[in-house]
Structure formats: C-alpha cells, structure tokens
Structure 1
C-alpha cells in the first residue's frame, strides 16, 4: 500500500507498535484475529496493491529494496567491519555461526528505503526539549545532587537530557596533563554480555539498516568510562577499552527507540521501551559506571578571534555550529558544536586516553580536512598519526607557540539519551592572524551537512540559536557551558546572553 507504519496502523485500526514489531520480526506468525484483519485489508485493496503484494511474496526482491541491494549485499559479504558485527551478534546472542548473517540478509530484503527516510524525517521533527522532558518523566528517581542540566536566560528555560552535578560544571580545566588525568586500566575488550531475543533482533535490524542506508560502521577500539571525578581545574577518570560494535548494537539503539516512540505519540512508561528497561532502567543504573557500558566522547564550542571588519563590525570571535549528517551513528540531523567525536584511541592507548588528545584529533579531522585519521576509513597504519610532521598546516601553526591554542573542559555529564558520557569543552584561538591566514582552510567533513558561523557579539542571534529545537542535547549542553566560559575569558569580543544553570 506504500503507507508508513503510522498510516498502515490507522488503516487497520491497530497499534503502530504492532506494525513496527512485524518489521523487527518478519518471521512472526500473527494470531488468527489479526490474520483476518490483514486478509480483509488485502481483499479491499486496489488491483495494483494486490499485484505488488503478489510480487513481494515471491522469491523476487521488492523493487524499492532492489535499488540498494547490490551495494548492501556486497558489504554484507565483504566488509570486515560488518563481518565483525555479525560475529559479535552470533556470539552474544548465543546463535550458531552464520545465523546473524542470514537474519540480517532476510531483514535487508524487507527494508524499504523510502520508509527509512520517512522515519528519519519523523525523528527530525522531535524537538530537543521533547526528548529532555520525556526523559525527565521516565526517570523520576533522583540521587542526591544529581539532576538534569537546565539553563535559564531572558526568563526562558532550556532543559537538557544531560545528567550532571554542581561539582561537574564550570570546571575551567585545561585539557593538558596534569589537569587532564584520564587513564586507561584495561586494553582488552570486554565480553560480559548476553543478548535476549528482543535485543538480538534489534541489533540485527540495526545492521540491516546500516547497510541499506550506507552508514559507516567501524569495529574499532572505543574507550568506556569506569570511574570519573571531575572538579574545578581537574578531571580524574579511568577508562577501559571496548569495541565500537558492542556500543552500536546495544546502548546506541536507545536513542532511536525513544525518539520513535515520541514521534508516534506512544506513552512512555515502564515496559514501553524494552531496550531502555534492559540497559538503563533508572538513575542508579546511569551512575553505576563499572557495571554498565558507558561510552561517549567530547565536543567543544570553537571560538576563533577575527579582526574588525567594515561590514561585520568590531573584533569578535567566530563561533562554529554544525548540522550533523544522516550518515553518522548518533545525533543524526541534529545541531551540534564542532568538533564532536567519540573518545577513542588511535595507536597510543595511554596518551590517547586524555580528553585533549581526542579534541585535537577531531579538530584535524572535522575542521582541517585530515581524512587519514578518520576512524571510519579504517584503523590507522602509521605508528604516530598525530606526529608533528603529519599535522595540517593550520594545526602546525597553532602548535608552534604555546598559548595559540587554548582548550578547556567546561562541564561533564551523563547523557540520559544513550547513557553516554559527555565532556563539554571550549576551544579558543585568540590570535587574529589565524583567521586571516587559515579561515579559508576550515571545512567540515562528511559528518556534517552544513557549517554555520555566528558572531560572539550577536546576542540576539545567539539567543535564537539556543532556542532552536534541532539541537542534540549534548550539543546544547556544550554550547551553553562554552558561552558561559567565553563570557569570562573573551573580554570585549563577547556579548553573549547571560546564562544561569540549575540542576533539576
């Protein structure tokens, strides 16, 4: 019938989650009453619909799915990262070898790219504040001192999904040792996880959709947080190493489950979000880092000094904001500060455990065009990918003299969307010479569909930006904390709105 899940559910007079369940479990046999409803719908359908149905239930693939099948099937058989994901799924679902590949192949033939794009559009219409408010309702329990980050400006409030603590905010922590005390204690990937039938099915669906939409997935190492103690001027934390596929096929599925429920106005209550009930059921589980998978990363508001300009006005900082592309694993099609990246090692696990190391790498990758350190292009083969001899020209200039590049951590939180850790930062380049020489070199990579610039003196535009519902929650958190700190250190180059925070 070429209907969305919502429209088809309304046509049949049933719940949209039932229709979604058919997609997740294509081998499911409906009960007799439901079969009668489906029989009636088919009998009343137009001849064209009946012809399409007949074609779809033969051995021939569906026309809509056939467009992407060759590339997707090639990756299913040849992409070592997809093979690693399938092997991981077989192992942790306790399936016999090869079961995951067959399961994903079957789901791939059932996917309609138009429906996936329609779903992406629906997800994009769910505002940041709706996600934050829904999670505030879902997690009514609160641990002493912890709560969701709320910013107030001009009488308006901005609630985020970032669970934080007063001691974790306004850190003003330089992202260099000894203040940046992130250490790695175990570099052997963890394997202590068993998937139930629902979780395994969701993981298989994720792999199938990754193939159909040509989303990049790499089975690379990823840092997981096990302990953290942020305080003003210092970050102390310990990490271990896991694999990206474990995160992508478990915790990262929580965002889609939540946003899909909000997009279809499903009630959020215990039992309505099975993956969230399993992996992140309450605030206690969110804070219990040693007993759960807590991956994440860092993102920073980037402020680059510009000289006065006859058209633009007085000397200011240019502030960069990205719109994330649809090919990224999380926060797709959302606004975020740039750079933004997963906290992951390249080759030197101990040195790369520092948050500052990730931010410098992300600047090279997302702003200065170095695709050789993009982990989605493959694991690094060079012994020292960040060696000074390999730096981009803009980064080489910044590192040539102390003080040209200032990076600070402005806040820390745990994002209730997927349980990720978020280190919010501020990058400041005070020398106007950088923008004059290298402003034209700055170009976002494939992770962004657009790059916007704002003036640190444009209070009204910044106020409007903060109120945009398209923000990712972690992006808004980093923007707000970054603006607070920039107001303190930026002098007369800054006229940002006054921002106060509270924990709720």
Structure 2
C-alpha cells in the first residue's frame, strides 16, 4: 500500500468502506463533519488538508487486520496472494455455509478458502465499494432505516453482513430457475390467488386466430380499445408534488429489502433512486387519458412492490401453492382485488409501453409494402421484466425535469423512443445525473426524432388500453406508435439500435401473420408486454389497410 503521496477522497472512501461505516459513522469515527465525508465521495481526486491526512493515517493504523486487508483490496494495490489471504481471513480457513433465501426455503452453498477465492474477493470488494460510495444504494439504506424504525447505519451493517454470505453463482443459478417460470405460469397462479374478482373487472385474455392468451392484467371494458391520441388535448394526466404517506416496514419486509440490496450489489444490477409517478386514479371519458398522479421514489418501489414477483416465482419454482396466506409480502401489500383497485391507497407505480410500427416500401427482396414491428428481449440487468419479451419502447412513467409537463403518457413514450431506439444516452437517468434543463428540447433531439416531430402527422401515438398488473400491482398504459411515411425508414432505419436494457431486438412484418402467431404463443413474454402487443395489433389491423394481414383479434375479461 503506497500512501506516500497522501490521501485522496477516493482512498478515504476506500477506508470508510473497509471499516464498513456509514457517512455519519465514519465522520464520528474521525471526529469531523458529515459534509466533509460526503465531499470525498463527490470529489475522489480531492486531497484533504494536512490535519485531515493525519486523522486518516491514525484511523488506518488503528484499524483491525481484517479492515486493513479490505482496504488493501479496495485500493487495488494488493497482490493475488493478498486477495487470497483476505478471503482466508474472512472464513478463518474453514468451510462455511451460506443461507440464500429462495421464497420460504433456503438453498445452501458451500465454499472453502481455496475455491474461486480471487474472484470471490473481487466481487465482494466491488460490492462493498458500492455499498459505501454509491449514492443510490446509500439512499436505499437510509430509506430502510427510516421505514423500519432502525438506528441510522443499521441497514448498512445488515446489508454488509448479507453481502459476506452471498455468492454470485448461486444467485445466477436461482435466476435460471426463475427463468423457467413463464408468462402462462404466472398468469394462471395469479388468477387463482385473486379468484374473487368483481363483475366490473377481469383478467385480460385475447384470441389471435385459434390461440388464446391469458394475462395477469386486471382491466375493464372501459379501459380497453381507448385509441386515445397522445397529444396535448387528449393526454391529460395531472401530477401533484404533494408528499406521500410514509410506508412502514415490519421485520420481515425490512429483511426482504436488505436481501434485495445485497443481491443487487452482488450481481451488479443498476439501481437508481429516481423520482417516479404513482397513480392515484384514472378516467377515460371523451376519448381522453385522464387522472391524477402523485410522486414517489424508485427505491420505495424497488424494495416493496417490486419484490412481489420474485416471491411468487420462487414459490412456483419450489412447488409451493401460491395461495392467500402463503405469500407474506403479497398478503401484506396486495391481498385481494379490492387492494389492487385502491390505487390511491397503496403504492401504484408503473409505466408505459407501446408496439412500434414503421412503414416500409415494397421491396423486390422482401415483398409488398408493410409495417416493421419491433420486439425486444429484455436484458438481465434491468429491474423490470428482466429476460422477458416486451414491446419497445417500454419505461417507467417518471418525470425528467418538469413534474407537471412530463405527466403526459406520451412524454414518457417519446423519451423512451430516444433512449431505446435512437441512442440518446444522456437522457437515461439510470446512467448518469440529469443536468439538462430540457433534455427533450428540439435542439437536443436525435436526428430521427427531430424529423418525426418537425411536421404534424409524421408520428402517431395512441393509448390502446390500460390495466393493473397483478404481478406487482403496476399500472400499465399500453400504446401503439405508427410512422406512416416510408421516407422515415429509408432515411433512418439503419440508425435504430437498442440500448443496454435490451439483450436482443427482433423485427416482424405486419404481413407475416404466421410469424406473429408464433410470437403471440411465445411463453417468454412479460404479461404487460403481451397485453400491449395484442392491443397494438388489434388497433393496427384497423389502421393499416393493405400493409397488414392479421386474423381477427378479440379480447374478453375473465
């Protein structure tokens, strides 16, 4: 370890991580202000003053041997043998057992001090670095402390302890098991859990040719076939900045939140504490999309409602019957259909997603003029619908910089088009901070999007349906995006490219009813994705004329 040139903000933060202290705890340990510690995180190249250098020297000298080893690994100056020694110190040279939560069961993985040690330490030290330095993880830890009624720093210590127990390969194996539970399995399980449904609402099911697709989308006849144009006169959701009532966590809910944070760190999944809209109510009178929105944070959603899907899937993989009384988180947050429909009385976050259709000219190689339809296979690095099929674009409904203006459903769809189809990284707030006053200002738009918005009528966006997804209680605004002018595809078709949220992008022709039938039957869909696909195809069949060759698509509620 070479500190002859002195401490920097980066190495000070590494010492904090090695000591496993929160910002408040590290400041107290050194006898300095919390703002000073926060400044080191913000400015890693900053060199503290001489008296601060001495305090850090003393803190390192007085640290335990294990903390010094962790510090050496974190500052990347340890040799491979140092890494092996660090792991050996962590397990005291003995075989130890890790309890990994899988629903209400435990899967145990054995490790020894000489098995995959360098890789293990590398993963653990990176996770510990994020635990200390990642402001989004810090926000999540503070939120858990607050909602569980714990002393500050408790969630950090519990997460650090859980990190030491987790193994990435075991979590990846669990992910593969979860992947075997398909869309139909989930839809059937939730239909049984919520079997008592009112006459006014039912689960969306649609018939494509001779195939029937059931989903977990709770909807009503008033919420379907809206065909509402997403323009200012019809896109009328209204947002309020009023603070939400605080949700409390009991011991089990807090423990599940800690599990989620530790697993997120171990697997390197992105978690960004961005603002989210929460839905308070909807109305669709007069062909308009209306209703009201409140505000919440992504952390609150990720550590509560978003855990319901994993709990359900783990129950199915273990052979457990997912009935009321058997799923503790679901029993707590969404015990019945009445609670699902009580949007204002619970945390109801969600998003928008749309089937995209681009007009293409006739081609001697491809055939007659048609629409190109895009479908994505979601990446394993996303929080929502991971490794599932979905239409594109798809995104959480959230503001960028203007809470009221961004409340429009169309605002999210246009933003997601820029991110997921046209490569605008700087408006993706899961990648970096948002510092632009107006990220969607015409002067900042990508060339394809600028062309689409230059003249009215080039970009057609409609809301085709609305529902509440029983998987996590999310609201889903399904849409259709149509570009009628063939010139767009000639000019910009080669520039369409998926972003990091997509593992693979598929294209289909609106004239290839057989391929689309196979697509509809694919069990890899997310429930909301299948809902948006079917509603989008149903509407496109009415709009597309000779560019479309599809069977009749009809829906029913069950």
TM-score (norm 1): 0.89
Q: Distance in 2 between matches of 1:374 and 1:18?
A: 37
- Number of residues paired by the alignment? 464
- The aligned counterpart of 1:17 is 104
- The aligned counterpart of 2:394 is 340
Q: Distance in 2 between matches of 1:140 and 1:149?
A: 14
Kindly indicate whether residue 382 of structure 2 is the aligned counterpart of residue 328 of structure 1: yes
Higher RCO (CA < 8 A, seq sep 6+): 1
Deviates more, 1:487-496 or 1:153-162: 153-162
Note if contact 1:169-1:412 (Cα within 8 Å) is conserved in structure 2: yes
Residue number among 280, 286, 297 corresponding to 2:340 in the alignment:
286
Output one character per residue of 1:299-334: Cα deviation in whole Å (capped at 9) or x when no partner: 000000001111111000000000000110110000
Note if contact 2:513-2:551 (Cα within 8 Å) is conserved in structure 1: yes
Shift in CA distance, 61/73, structure 1 to aligned 2, threshold 3 Å: farther
Note if contact 1:321-1:452 (Cα within 8 Å) is conserved in structure 2: yes
Shift in CA distance, 292/62, structure 1 to aligned 2, threshold 3 Å: farther
Residue number among 216, 219, 223 corresponding to 1:164 in the alignment:
219
What is the SS of the residue equivalent to 1:217?
coil
Displacement of 1:157 in angstroms is 1.3
Displacement of 1:387 in angstroms is 0.4
Instruction: Write the mapping of 1:256-295 to structure 2, written as runs, cut at 5 A.
Output: 256-295=310-349
Output one character per residue of 1:18-58: Cα deviation in whole Å (capped at 9) or x when no partner: 325x89xxxxxxxxxxxxxxxxxxxxxxxxx7xx45x49xx
- The aligned counterpart of 2:231 is 176
Kindly indicate whether residue 148 of structure 2 is the aligned counterpart of residue 109 of structure 1: no
Kindly indicate whether residue 540 of structure 2 is the aligned counterpart of residue 453 of structure 1: no
Q: Distance in 1 between matches of 2:491 and 2:523?
A: 35
Q: Which one has a bigger Cα radius of gyration?
A: 2
- The aligned counterpart of 2:64 is none
Deviates more, 1:63-72 or 1:142-151: 63-72
Residue number among 471, 475, 484 corresponding to 2:525 in the alignment:
471
In structure 2, list runs of 5 or more residues that go unmatched.
Answer: 1-94
Q: Distance in 2 between matches of 1:473 and 1:65?
A: 36
Displacement of 1:428 in angstroms is 0.1
What is the SS of the residue equivalent to 2:284?
strand
Q: Distance in 2 between matches of 1:427 and 1:388?
A: 20
Displacement of 1:66 in angstroms is 2.3
Q: Distance in 2 between matches of 1:294 and 1:235?
A: 17
TM-score (norm 2): 0.80
Q: Distance in 2 between matches of 1:129 and 1:17?
A: 23
- The aligned counterpart of 1:429 is 483
Kindly indicate whether residue 304 of structure 2 is the aligned counterpart of residue 217 of structure 1: no
Deviates more, 1:273-282 or 1:120-129: 120-129
Kindly indicate whether residue 252 of structure 2 is the aligned counterpart of residue 204 of structure 1: no
Note if contact 1:218-1:378 (Cα within 8 Å) is conserved in structure 2: no
Residue number among 164, 173, 179 corresponding to 1:118 in the alignment:
173
Shift in CA distance, 120/18, structure 1 to aligned 2, threshold 3 Å: closer
Displacement of 1:500 in angstroms is 0.6
What is the SS of the residue equivalent to 2:225?
strand
What is the SS of the residue equivalent to 2:461?
strand
Kindly indicate whether residue 196 of structure 2 is the aligned counterpart of residue 141 of structure 1: yes
- The aligned counterpart of 2:472 is 418
What is the SS of the residue equivalent to 1:349?
coil
Q: Distance in 2 between matches of 1:379 and 1:144?
A: 46
What is the SS of the residue equivalent to 2:386?
coil
Note if contact 1:64-1:113 (Cα within 8 Å) is conserved in structure 2: no
Residue number among 359, 362, 367 corresponding to 1:308 in the alignment:
362
Output one character per residue of 1:265-323: Cα deviation in whole Å (capped at 9) or x when no partner: 21112221100000000000000011100000000000000011111110000000000
Displacement of 1:70 in angstroms is 2.1
Output one character per residue of 1:388-426: Cα deviation in whole Å (capped at 9) or x when no partner: 000000000001100000000000000000000000000
Q: Distance in 2 between matches of 1:280 and 1:164?
A: 16
Q: Distance in 2 between matches of 1:189 and 1:104?
A: 28
Instruction: Write the mapping of 1:387-426 to structure 2, written as runs, cut at 5 A.
Output: 387-426=441-480
Q: Distance in 2 between matches of 1:108 and 1:336?
A: 32
Shift in CA distance, 61/467, structure 1 to aligned 2, threshold 3 Å: closer
In structure 1, list runs of 5 or more residues that go unmatched.
Answer: 10-14, 24-48
Q: Distance in 1 between matches of 2:516 and 2:98?
A: 37
Residue number among 302, 306, 312 corresponding to 1:248 in the alignment:
302
- The aligned counterpart of 1:100 is 155
Displacement of 1:63 in angstroms is 6.2
Displacement of 1:62 in angstroms is 6.5
What is the SS of the residue equivalent to 1:323?
strand
CA-based RMSD of the aligned residues comes to 2.2
Displacement of 1:155 in angstroms is 2.9
- The aligned counterpart of 1:128 is 183
